[in-house]
């Protein structure tokens, strides 16, 4: 069992205020009309896929690189102003604000490991919130985009752990492994932590991934608890892996 799309729509309806959704909807609808390829990532996608809710006043839009200049032009036409209050790197992103709501455009990963392609913008869930169509980036690319964010001031590994708990059994692990490529030891480290925290849930994942990750000698135990709360408590993480919302 995985976290269902119907619940995802309900969560996004809670997170997106009417005024906020109206600003985003105008941009998304104009982008679709112009044939621009994009999808939603970040905290909104994480909340939708996992039920691990992240309140956010911005929207991360992943756009196929050849379409990014057209999308920036469209944002300016709609009244978005460049948002410089927080520094950003214009070589892979653009940040605009309208009526107090921020949109981050991203067409490359911040470390240069990959660029947004049509898989990012076509294979995620298609949801509807108050009549507005919302396309998410896939969970595999969402996990990949967050894998390298492990810094003193910010760490996204908790996001990935919750995402895998919610969607892992149905994720395309072959594609995720291919995306990660030579950085597979990073994913192995994350999955070792996941197995330790959620041994029962780890046992629901495809068996082949453990050998591919170099973990064939310590695969998850099928008789382990779904979530080991004696371990998550050590991280003050008792709000992670919330099965109650399923």
Quick one: which of 186, 210, 195 has its CA closest to 161?
A: 195
Looking at residue 245, what is its pLDDT? Answer: 59
Q: What are φ and ψ of residue 165, in 5° steps?
A: -60, -40
Listed in order, strand segments (DSSP E) in the chain are: 38-41, 58-63, 81-82, 93-98, 101-106, 126-129, 132-135
Give the pLDDT confidence score for residue 244 in this predicted structure: 65
Q: What is the pLDDT of residue 219?
A: 67
Helices (H), 5-41: 5-15, 18-33
How far is 206 from 50, CA to CA, in rounded Å? 19
Helix (H) or strand (E) holding 61: strand 58-63
**Residues 6 or more apart whose Cβ sits within 8 Å of residue 77:** none
φ, ψ (nearest 5 deg) of residue 218: -140, 60
Token pair in block for residue 92: 């892979």
Report whether 137 contacts 121 (CB < 8 A). yes
Which pLDDT score is estimated for 146? Answer: 97
CB 46 within 8 A of CB 143: no
Whole-number Å distance between alpha carbons of 223 and 69: 52
For 92, residues 6+ apart whose C-beta sits below 8 A from its C-beta are: 106, 107, 108, 109, 110, 112
Paired with 214 in beta bridges are none
pLDDT at 217: 66
- Residue spans of the chain under pLDDT 50: none
Instruction: Give the per-residue pLDDT at 238.
Output: 85
Number of alpha helices (DSSP H) and beta strands (DSSP E) in the chain? 12, 7
Going by DSSP bridges, is the β-strand pair 58-63/101-106 parallel, antiparallel, or unpaired? parallel
Contact 9, 45 (CB under 8 A): no
The pLDDT of residue 246 is 67
Total-model pTM:
0.95
Q: In the chain, what are the domains?
A: 5-137 (3.30.460.40), 144-245 (no CATH)
- CB-CB contact of 86 with 95 (8 Å): yes
């Amino acid at each position: 069992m995985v976290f269902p799309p119907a619940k995802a729509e309900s969560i996004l309806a809670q997170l997106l205020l009417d005024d906020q959704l109206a600003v985003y909807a105008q941009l998304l609808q104009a982008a679709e009309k112009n044939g621009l390829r994009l999808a939603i990532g970040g905290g909104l996608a994480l909340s939708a896929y996992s039920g691990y809710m992240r309140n956010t006043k911005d929207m991360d839009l992943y756009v196929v690189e050849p379409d990014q200049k057209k999308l920036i032009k469209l944002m300016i036409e709609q009244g978005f102003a460049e948002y410089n209050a927080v520094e950003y790197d214009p070589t892979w992103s653009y940040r605009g604000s309208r009526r107090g709501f921020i949109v981050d455009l991203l067409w490359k990963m911040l470390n240069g490991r990959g660029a947004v392609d049509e898989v990012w913008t076509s294979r995620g869930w298609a949801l509807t919130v108050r009549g507005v169509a919302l396309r998410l980036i896939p969970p595999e690319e969402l996990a990949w985009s967050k894998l390298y964010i492990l810094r003193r001031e910010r760490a996204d590994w908790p996001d990935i752990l919750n995402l895998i708990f919610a969607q892992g059994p149905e994720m395309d692990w072959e594609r995720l492994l291919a995306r990660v490529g030579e950085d597979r030891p990073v994913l192995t480290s994350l999955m070792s932590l996941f197995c330790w925290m959620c041994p029962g849930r780890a046992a629901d994942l495809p068996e082949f991934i453990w050998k591919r990750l170099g973990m064939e000698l310590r695969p998850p135990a099928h008789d382990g608890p779904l979530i080991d709360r004696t371990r998550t408590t050590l991280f003050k993480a008792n709000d992670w892996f919330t099965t109650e919302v399923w």
